[in-house]
Structure 1
Amino acid sequence: MRFGLLGPVEVWSGSRSLARHARPQQRTLLAALLDDLGRLATPDELIGRIWGESPPPTARRTLHSHISRIRNLLTQEADAGAPRLLFRDGCYLLLAPAEAVDAQVFRRLVQEAGQQEAHERVRLLRDALSLWRGEALSGLPGPWAERRREMYRRQRVRAILDWADSLRDLGQANRSLEALERTVESEPLTEPVTARLVAALYTEGYASDALRSYHAFSRQLADELGTVPGPTLRRLHTAIVQGRPLPELG
């Protein structure tokens, strides 16, 4: 059995999707339990994650119903290593192998990548990024899901930046161009992403495209936030205009 948080919340047994018809609240509960994998979560914590600060009077009873639904999902795989949802000391505890949860695998690969040389770092980060199926916790309502979605988003962007930097260190910046262009489309105001794209374009001999990307970002920043690019991106721009080697991106 495998679990997915890096996209719509999913449960798979082999190739079968087991959570396809689960309600949004049940998916939120499953995400909350997976996010706390191997740790105790009180009913009040889970209620807060599902309903926020204003739960309905029936929240505790509904929580028990959702717990039963998730237990039914988990019992569809009955081998000795199957995930289990326990009630212990007044708390809920989901036990499953970390390798069965895409978000856990992503974090492990990113952590391992940080300890490797460039070639292996590129491979590990590529494998980590390939786990993403879209926006993390896609479609889940509520403030808890939004906070965790933002946390996962930041982790993904950081991994993309490290991957692009590693490719540039290897003299293979061209391999990052397509992914960086897509990331700029989804993260139009995230300056480090634009900086990597500008640097990669210039490194590969596309100075005019690099300048266009810089000016497009600069205009959008002025229009939406009323600010200007930061010092790193401005230094990149100056180096490109003057035809000099690029400064460190930091």
Structure 2
Amino acid sequence: MSFAANFPVMLRTDDGVRIDAAHTPSRGRGDLGIVVAHGFTGSWRDRTARRIVHVLSGFGGVVAFDFRGHGHSGGETTVGDLEVLDLDAAVRHARIIGYSCVAVVGFSMGAAVAVRHAALYRGVDAVAAVSGPARWYYRGTKPMRQVHWAIERPVGRWAARMVKRTRIARGRWDPVPMAPHEAAGLISPTPLLVVHGDADTFFPVDHAHQVFDAAREPKELWIEPGYGHAESAATPALIRRVGAWISTNATKDRTFPA
């Protein structure tokens, strides 16, 4: 499969972190920009991520980027806290290069960041949260216990750096950021799409229901039969459906409450 051409760019966050990103021009709506936020240990340069960008570029221009501590970006990951600054830099870039409507598609950690960003910044026109957690510190599945081992143990952080090129910040959150399900209640009237697989081995479907139930209209919930977790399990057909939902629901003609 050949991918659409992308144009690398280096962004800078409000706290001074360099963010590696790329812009893929639209093959669809000229006014719509779609920002893609990857999951923990991911990168926009991964083949799976580039496949997703290629599909979404059929609906709008795509800005994909590496969160801090990932890939070619600077800094260290805080696993969902300060990453809202990274996403905001990408959203601002999409506006600067001419997209009047900007939507965000987040996967796993990126889904949590996308929901929190929409609540804190009110700067996007639609949000799709795919395979995201509803609450922090979840350890109810083996993969999530492994994630916590990587985050909390020196040998785990070393392994993440060596194997996944992911640099993890030491220490605990202080303060603990707003949980995704709490943030979901604050983003209306921005449309929210929650997508989750019934075969997700990281977060069971009650996470999706908790986010969806906390959100106000407009909102939509897709529980996908047989779908696993995040980018690696997402089929082109599912991504096309997400792109079509964004194209239908993203509009700049919304009034936010004071």
- The normalised TM-score by structure 2 is 0.24
Q: Which has the larger radius of gyration?
A: 1
- The normalised TM-score by structure 1 is 0.25
Higher strand share: 2
